[in-house]
Amino acid sequence: MIRRRRQRGQGNHERWLVSYADFITLLFAFFVVLYASAQVDQRKVGRLAVAIQAAFRELGAFPGSGVPLRFAPDEPLPLSAVQALDQARRNVQFEPVGPVDDPAEADEEADLSLLQTQLQQALQQEIAAHSVALHREVDGLVISLREFGFFDSGSDQLKPSALPALDRIASILALRRCRIRIEGHTDNIPVHTAQWSSNWELSTSRSTGLVRLMIQRYRFAPERLSAAGYAQYHPIATNDSPQGRAQNRRVDLVIVRQKTARIAADSEAAPAKPSPSAP
């Protein structure tokens, strides 16, 4: 029997076009992604970066930054950013975004950021031990001195071990002319001792004692300082747990913004309105 030889079909020499088309498609997609990244809303990218920074700061992966974290209140955050911000909200202070029209306010903002950075570097050990915390508020920069690092329970006397930290704080603040408001705070557990009849007296005595120390030991001008006692009525954490009460027992040094100081000075200088019943 004679076998017939099968004729081999000629190979398709244009199969390379399939791979070439795939390569061109991927290359086109790559440049589309680059273009989309270049056209993305910079504010949203910045807010997402803030959320990531806050999450890493909460985990202690990166050291604290002196730049205030900002967000736009009129725009929703992505879900991932919301989760990151929720984890970091107790340790990070956010400020609304807004244009700064006044050059003096812009300079003050930059000076506060520089001051916060200097204090963070000088108080690294205390911040790591959670005996000192720094955050920004509307009134200015707040240096929060926790009770366990600076006072004995129920006492207005500073611990000797707290003086080195205060020395570093005072050496940095002495180089500026900003006003400082010292606020005493307690938890909601009533105090009844021979010296203190309530938390009002204890919180006020701690703040005025620190004012006295700033004047006598560090030679601060008295007109730069003021003292206030808020007892348990300005908490920063819940009083339902020992950890929360420990955060509330503190003395805050508020580096007051110039605008806030001017408003306070104007209100103090304004004449009191006569009572309607007055003759």
- What contacts 61, CB < 8 A, 6 or more positions away? none
Q: Which of 259, 265, 226 is nearest to 107 (CA)?
A: 259
Band (pLDDT 50/70/90 cuts) for residue 221 is very high
Question: Of the spans 18-22, 51-55, 96-100, 219-223, which averages the highest pLDDT?
Answer: 219-223
> Over 60: is that where the pLDDT of 195 sits?
yes
Q: What is the largest CA-CA distance in the chain?
A: 140
pLDDT for the residue 241: 94
User: What's the average model confidence in pLDDT over 26-31?
Assistant: 87
User: What's the average model confidence in pLDDT over 134-151?
Assistant: 94
Residue 137 contacts residue 191 (beta carbons within 8 Å)? no
Domains and CATH numbers, the chain: 20-98 (no CATH), 102-269 (3.30.1330.60)
> Over 70: is that where the pLDDT of 178 sits?
yes
Residue 58 contacts residue 85 (beta carbons within 8 Å)? no
Indicate the helix (H) or strand (E) that contains 227. Answer: strand 225-229
> Over 70: is that where the pLDDT of 48 sits?
no
Q: Identify the residue whose tokens are 């206030």.
A: 228
pLDDT for the residue 158: 95
Q: Which of 60, 53, 76 is nearest to 129 (CA)?
A: 60
